[in-house]
Amino acid sequence: MPPVATGRCYLRSSMSFSHLGLSNEIIRAVTELGYTKPTPIQMQAIPAVLSGRDLLAGAQTGTGKTASFTLPLLQKLSSDKSVKSTSNEYSPIRALILTPTRELAAQVELSVREYGKYLKLNTMAMFGGVSINPQKRLLKGRVDILVATPGRLLDHVQQGTVNLSQIEFLVLDEADRMLDMGFIRDIRRILSLLPKHRQNLLFFATFSDKIKALATGLLDRPEIIEVARRNITADTVTQKVYKVDHDRKCQLLVNLIRQNNWYQVLVFTRTKYGADRLVRQLTQERIQALAIHGNKSQSARTHALAKFKNDSLQVLVATDIAARGLDISELPHVVNYDLPYVPEDYVHRIGRTGRAGASGKAVSFVCVDEYHLLADIEKLIEQQLPFEVVTGFGGNSHTQPEQISDERKHRPKRSKRPARTAKPLPQTSAKQSARRTVTSGKKSDARSGASRH
């Protein structure tokens, strides 16, 4: 996979959506959503996709990546005269977007529908955890763009209810997540069912050898794009660490919510068990909270998310996997109740706030046993996070290491710890190493947890 010229020449701050060659219908839809100009990933990816190239794009949630592949797809699909009819008669699925989670599939499909509201294209979301029969019925009608999770898509394949033989465009969204979640065999099986000649777009948040291997087999001379990582440029997110005893975390959260009148707080715990326990504790404190995680039914998750989005739920407690793909506009507060074991998850978590220019706050509760996790995160984001010790909440050197080992009992067994270090894309390594040189002066030599006591 030889690297080719990137689309950086498209980057002009004054560029508008109309400069990118999108139709009036699409521009009208994004304008109604309040988008005034394309984000950097959109400026680069849209022309590349319109030109028919394969794409390998490094962009995290919150950068506008969904529109960066959806808008040109819509443009290409709708400019083909044969699809202008409004009829519901059978016509083949032409674009397949694969996502790692149900939430992301639902979210992406919603975005596709919103961006394509003035076009005559039909979309469908397909994921597990809900009855398969309504999906079968929808597949009998016309579907131009299918957004699916791999498992349920293969269920349909097995039952002969989906036809992938006419796919012209394939998008793998959050491909690194799909690989982390063990979907590689499913992905390979799906790829084997698609026509050889098609355009492939692969989006990832963190580059790794696994992504490289997938891209090498999948992409044909791709345009390679990497937008600035949110963790380095996220100047819209204020990050802060509270050093706190493990068993005082809940009270600290209650205090912060009450004292600051936080009304919409997304709280991350490492485990499903931890999420449920925190919801119980907050409820006892008369703070309205619900949890979303893998043990909750799809309808419970949808219900909790809907309440949270319309401001009738103050606190949503989520595990990392369940929160993937959540899109809540202008989410003001993210709390890392536990630090994640995988440092990249920290970046995903805080990417839920401060989106598209809105300001947000991300606070992390760090007990003595989590200092090494904090050190890993700071190493990844190349930034030292400001911290505070709140009087009465411990977090000092006398604190006993505790509890965290209990939590580990509840870790999902299948989670295999991915590589800790984000690897840069091949052709951006020079830029990345330059950045490291510039920022290295900020860091102290001793980054161990012990140095923060």
Binding ligand AMP (rule: CB under 6 A), the pick from 66, 123, 239, 353 is 66
> Is 359 an interacting residue with respect to ligand AMP (CB under 6 A)?
no
Binding ligand AMP (rule: CB under 6 A), the pick from 9, 356, 419, 446 is 356
From the list 58-66, 184-192, 339-347, 379-387, the region that binds ligand AMP by CB under 6 A is: 58-66
Answer for the pair 389, 396: CB distance below 8 angstroms, yes or no: yes
From the list 60-68, 151-159, 171-179, 309-317, the region that binds ligand AMP by CB under 6 A is: 60-68
Nearest to residue 175, comparing CAs of 60, 294, 301, 47?
Answer: 60
| 155: CB partners within 8 A, 6+ apart | 128, 132
Instruction: Sheet with 223-226: list strands edge to edge.
Output: 123-126, 145-148, 95-98, 169-172, 199-204, 55-58, 223-226
Residues touching ligand AMP, count (CB under 6 A): 15
Question: Is the CB of 67 or the CB of 211 nearer to ligand AMP?
Answer: 67
> Is 67 an interacting residue with respect to ligand AMP (CB under 6 A)?
yes
Binding ligand AMP (rule: CB under 6 A), the pick from 64, 116, 274, 360 is 64
Tally the C-alpha atoms within 13 A of residue 181's C-alpha that lie toward its C-beta: 20
Question: Is the CB of 53 or the CB of 352 nearer to ligand AMP?
Answer: 352
φ, ψ (nearest 5 deg) of residue 95: -130, 135
Residues numbered 322-341 forming contacts with ligand AMP, rule: CB under 6 A: 327, 329
CB 441, min distance to ligand AMP, A: 31
CB 37, min distance to ligand AMP, A: 6
> Is 360 an interacting residue with respect to ligand AMP (CB under 6 A)?
no
> Is 62 an interacting residue with respect to ligand AMP (CB under 6 A)?
yes
CB 369, min distance to ligand AMP, A: 33
Residue 219 zone, left/alpha/beta (φ > 0; ψ -120 to 50; rest): beta
> Is 354 an interacting residue with respect to ligand AMP (CB under 6 A)?
no
- With the C-alpha atoms ordered 129, 131, 137, 138, is the resulting torsion angle positive or negative? negative
Task: Say if residue 184 is exposed, middle or buried (CB neighbours under 10 Å; 0-12, 13-18, 19+).
Answer: middle
CB 355, min distance to ligand AMP, A: 5
How far apart CA 224 and CA 73 sit, in angstroms, is 18
Residues numbered 253-312 forming contacts with ligand AMP, rule: CB under 6 A: none
Answer for the pair 214, 67: CB distance below 8 angstroms, yes or no: no
> Is 109 an interacting residue with respect to ligand AMP (CB under 6 A)?
no
Answer for the pair 333, 359: CB distance below 8 angstroms, yes or no: no
> Is 355 an interacting residue with respect to ligand AMP (CB under 6 A)?
yes
**CA distances (Å), 208 to each of 177, 250, 291, 315, in order?**
11, 36, 31, 34
How far apart CA 96 and CA 376 sit, in angstroms, is 36
Binding ligand AMP (rule: CB under 6 A), the pick from 44, 63, 101, 353 is 63
> Is 58 an interacting residue with respect to ligand AMP (CB under 6 A)?
no
**What residues make contact with ligand AMP under the rule CB under 6 A?**
35, 38-39, 42, 61-67, 327, 329, 355-356
